[in-house]
Amino acid sequence: MNTAKRTKAIVRLQWLIWIAVFLIIFFSILPEEGLAHALIFSTTSIAFYTLVIYGNILLLFPRLWERAHKVEYVICVIVLLVGGGLGRGYLLIYLVNHFVETKPESMDLGMALNFIIAGVLNYMLSFVFRIAIAYFTLKQQAEEILLQKSQAELNLLKSQVQPHFLFNTLNNIYYEAYREAPRTAGLIERLSDIMRYFVDESPKDEVSMQTEVSFIENYIALEKIRIRHKIEMNFVKDYNAEARIPPMLLMTFVENIFKHGIDKSSKENKVDISLIQQEGYLLFQTCNSMPDQTSKDETHGFGIENLHKRLGMLYGAKFELNIENDGKTFTAFLKVPIAS
């Protein structure tokens, strides 16, 4: 199920829930209060419930609480509950007085407290609602991932023609080339390591930092042979070699450097890469000069979009991904939690 169909299914489910709640409230009020009163009470109640629930789970909680603005979040919740509760009460009394009651009613302290308490209960219910939506979303994503994984495994089986035979052959070529061209032999060795990484390491959930960095360095070394002029590259590293990280997590930025950030005809290509492990987080940043003919939009392809989705599935909201492109310099920054 693609993203659009998954979203429609979740929206449809929510509509069904709200319709069911409306009918329950309506038919519970109808026998004692009559049709008009039941319709007014049900409509205003559903409007208030949706305001509190969606206001919290879609706006206040993700934009304030999850971004560590906890004081602002508490203040906004209080305003939402008190203001929404009183607004619901006054609107309900106005509509009932205007369309139903012959003797007008007025708001008193007890009624106001009841409306506010109802708001508090709906606020608490909003988290249950949020968990339910997240559950169905993750369930459908998991099904989609399993389908993609099965397809990927099938494609991998189709493409793997005796990989160990291929590695052994590359090793033999390496020893033959080492006698006449040591540099070429070194590149063959790097290519062999990259292919072994794809076969043995990339299917794993996590690999060591040393394995991931070796893969990146091998990739950079092979990309450099395609560039006519020397690249000014600075790769700063400070990490625990045994720390674990999902495979291929950092490669999107490195690929972008050589795909969009290198002018093969220029002698002034500069690339800065830093990989720092600090206080339970891994900080990865790439910064490269941009060719004059490259537009700002060219650097934002499916690679960055897919990486953002993958990060969300791996870390939830506990990551930072920032992209800056001023037309001359492209900078990418990634911060993810990592266990030492």
pLDDT at 139: 76
CA distance 92 to 44: 7
CA distance 83 to 226: 64
C-alpha of 236 from chain center: 27
pLDDT at 161: 47
What CATH superfamily is the domain 230-337?
Histidine kinase-like ATPase, C-terminal domain (3.30.565.10)
pLDDT at 179: 67
Spans of all domains in the chain = 3-156, 230-337
CA distance 163 to 269: 36
* pLDDT, block means (10 residues), the chain with 340 residues: 67 86 88 87 90 88 87 91 89 86 75 85 82 75 74 60 59 68 78 81 87 90 78 90 90 85 75 92 91 57 78 89 87 89
Give the H/E segment covering residue 238.
Answer: strand 232-238
Query: What does pTM read for this prediction?
Result: 0.50
Query: 67 is written with which tokens?
Result: 């971004």
